[in-house]
Amino acid sequence: MVLKIFFPQCCNTADSGLLVGRWIPGHNSAVVLAVVHYPFIPGQVKKYLSEIQSQTQVDLAVLGSWSMPKEGQEGLDSFLKDLSTIFPQKCWLQLSREIGKRGFTCRVVQNNGTLLQDKEQKSDVDGSEEDKIILVHYDQRKVMLSQLHPVQEADQKSEIEPSELRLVFQTVAQSQPLFFLDKYDDGPLKLTHWQSEGREASIIAELLKQASVPVCICLTWLLSLWLWFCSFRILNIPPVKFITSKLSTCVQSGYRAVHFKTVFSPKKADTHMDFMRKANIFVSFLVDIALGLLLISWLYRENRISKLANTLVPVADHVAKELQQLLEWLMGAPAGLKMNKALDQVLGRFFLYHIHLWISYIHLMSPFIERILWYVGLSACLGLTFALSILSDIVALLTFHIYCFYVYGARLYCLKIYGLSSLWRLFRGKKWNVLRQRVDSCSYDLDQLFIGTLLFTILLFLLPTTALYYLVFTLLRLVVVLFQGVIHLSVDFINSFPLFAIGLRICRPYRLAEGVKFKVLCEESGSPLHLMMEINPLKCSSVLQRYRTPTYSCYPKDSWAALCKKLFVGELIYPWKQKTDKTD
């Protein structure tokens, strides 16, 4: 078997001493975590290790000895070799460096005292029969901080036993208390590991951690106040509830409340995924606020609000005028088509009356529009998503006439289509059986057939007129829906984009690891194979896929074919999702 020794890079130049680490159970490999320097008392080493072991639940052990050649310490080598009797183990590693060589030699002594391998003498003599050693160098800091994907949390026990590399990563990550001792501590032991030059920490981060707890408690209290306000009876009676569920601002605020509930919960995030979710939501919230403030600073300068208001009313007027012209065109002979004159006139007048109502409504509103816009613009300080949702709502309200036309046209068209389809069945001597949900044959009377045929003819000849109105207003509606859909998509994008994870991927690529990669280091005759283990960072696409915040996406999930079918049959289409309880 090949013996694998995972050796931290930071211990390459450590003083002579003992190797502290763990034998990976089930695999023929050992992870070296730290080096205990020479002046030590074996009893204290054992005591310290058992303390750490009770803290971390990692079965740490003294793996062997480490000797670094130094002047005045010639006798140390033999002393270190004899230590194996004090720390009984099944194998005793003897790593030693020599002056002028980059690699180091390694010997393994079995418990019964036989020298399993002596590379220096035997490497040329015998070939593959001997046991072999691979020294894998790893960067302790990166391995400790990185998270191997797919994420497997410690508490969830899976039937598949973790692979060797995962065990190595877990061992290094779990033995964090071992790395708290640095060279400035006055202890009986001196260790070398990645933090032995001094603990790595940031004062700002620690202060923020301390401050975050009271802030979180306070914000949770505010949030509960808001939720209590939302649970008022008056907000849950049917018409109010229906309207709030359709206004995207209300949907967005509800969504934000759920976000805040996760972020500001005073409980510490236990698992990696929880932590990443919290961080992602928090960072995207901050970015959202920053963008909103940028928008405000742009909007409230140089009197832009009043300019906007002054252009908005003429635009609405202009749209209404254009619609009027369109209707007049439809009431004549549009594109040379000959319509049913009477129906055409009726429909056209009906819609014209609507536009008239609309224009008077706009004119009634026009003095207040600037004031309304001014107050509505302030909502952008809650975030860009709020500003966008309000924009979407304003567009929906300003194009309410288009929506009305669309609904009338669609209903009329739908009625005709259904009438025609059932009469077509009558034509063929069949009928729809509601109980069995199928088409049955049926014998009709002569009168029924006569009336049916007559109605069929009338409906068929009136169909082009209604179809034309339906087509034109559907196209108008589709433009509005498209615009609202784009806004919804961008809001959704801001809400769900995992900014924190992407930032980690760019600035600290080792934090999210997909796996590892090995590089062959120098090979010298007489020293075992040296490999360098590096962290293979997760691909950006899989970062996006894994850490995307799930949203209740507001845009319809219909396929294009389903949408076309709906349009053809005359069912209503909405920019929001109709089935809200689709999750179960």
Q: Which residues bind another protein (CB under 8 A)?
A: 1-2, 4, 28, 127-128, 132, 134, 136, 159-160, 163-165, 515-518, 520, 523, 528-529, 531, 536
In the complex, the smallest distance separating the C-beta of residue 105 from another protein, rounded to whole angstroms, is 14
Angle between helices 341-365 and 446-496 (to 10 degrees): 30
Closest to 509 (Cα-Cα) out of 537, 528, 532:
537
Minimum CB distance to another protein smaller for 74 or for 159: 159
Contact 36, 190 (CB under 8 A): yes
In the complex, the smallest distance separating the C-beta of residue 31 from another protein, rounded to whole angstroms, is 14
Minimum CB distance to another protein smaller for 250 or for 529: 529
Which H helix or E strand runs over 64?
strand 61-67
Contact 430, 462 (CB under 8 A): no
CA distance 120 to 526: 5
- The residues, any chain, with a CB within 8 Å of residue 361's CB and separated by 6 or more, are none
In the complex, the smallest distance separating the C-beta of residue 517 from another protein, rounded to whole angstroms, is 4
Contact 502, 530 (CB under 8 A): no
Minimum CB distance to another protein smaller for 51 or for 523: 523
Place of tokens 């009986």: 188
In the complex, the smallest distance separating the C-beta of residue 5 from another protein, rounded to whole angstroms, is 12
Minimum CB distance to another protein smaller for 528 or for 556: 528
Structure tokens at 354: 């609507």
Minimum CB distance to another protein smaller for 256 or for 505: 505
In the complex, the smallest distance separating the C-beta of residue 2 from another protein, rounded to whole angstroms, is 4
In the complex, the smallest distance separating the C-beta of residue 93 from another protein, rounded to whole angstroms, is 17
Minimum CB distance to another protein smaller for 13 or for 525: 525
Q: Helix %, strand %, coil % for the chain, to 5?
A: 55, 15, 30
CA angle 136, 139, 142 (to 5 degrees): 130
Minimum CB distance to another protein smaller for 127 or for 550: 127
In the complex, the smallest distance separating the C-beta of residue 525 from another protein, rounded to whole angstroms, is 11
DSSP labels, 163-223: PHHHHHHHHHHHTGGGGG--TTS--S--EESTTTTS----HHHHHHHHHHHHHHHHHHHHH
**Alpha-carbon radius of gyration of the chain:** 38
In the complex, the smallest distance separating the C-beta of residue 543 from another protein, rounded to whole angstroms, is 15
